[in-house]
Amino acid sequence: MAQESGETRRQIERLREAIRHHDHLYYALDVPEVPDSEYDGLMRELRRLEEANPELVTPDSPTQRVSGEPSEGFQTVTHPRPLLSLANVFDDEGLEVWYRRAQGIIPGEEFALVCEPKFDGLAVALTYENGVLARGATRGSGTEGEDVTQNLRTVKSIPPGRRRGPPRPVRGQRRSHLSKRPLLGVQCGARGSWRADVRESQECSSGGHPAT
């Protein structure tokens, strides 16, 4: 009996690792190596084994991702360290002022500038405890944000965690945004009626609008 239980545990772990591997290829690298049908088969088998062995279910299992509606009410959380935002410039003069200020910070150093399109989205702070995603919060005021952990669990490109992670809390930031096609889908609505009150991807990607 113990031998059978050990084999089931190992089978579950193999399925989880395989699903995490394919999630990384698909959502992070955009290079899937298996068809959706094969991926769905792995997930179905993992769910079957976990339902038959609930004591083996762990918080970081791929099956524990939230698939329902994100929560609408958010609690306020205080960031352990302030989350600073980027400053804006809108003309050449503002850019020159910023460049001279940067030169004053690192005098005598040559540095290159990189420009890229700005994505309208929001910054979220992710906290992992014992290798498992424990909390996700918006930047908010920089010192206080909103707890959107439940919403972020619906984002498959955010890892739920690894149990082999460091024991102390690990924090990082991620940029979340909604691309044009999903935004248009929200604006049009399920019945094809235009929603004039949905204007920005930042609001939708944060879950701040009832439509999301």
d(CA 199, CA 195): 8
Q: Which phi and psi angles does 94 have, rounded to 5°?
A: -65, -35
d(CA 178, CA 155): 11
> For residue 53, which phi and psi values (nearest 5 degrees)?
-135, 70
- Residue in 95, 53, 70 with CA at minimum distance from that of residue 176: 70
Q: Which residue blocks in the chain are alpha helix, DSSP H?
A: 2-23, 36-52, 92-105, 149-152, 180-188, 201-205
Token pair 């329902």 is found at 68
Catalytic residue among 3, 54, 105, 118: 118
**180 counts as catalytic:** no
Q: Which residues are catalytic?
A: 118
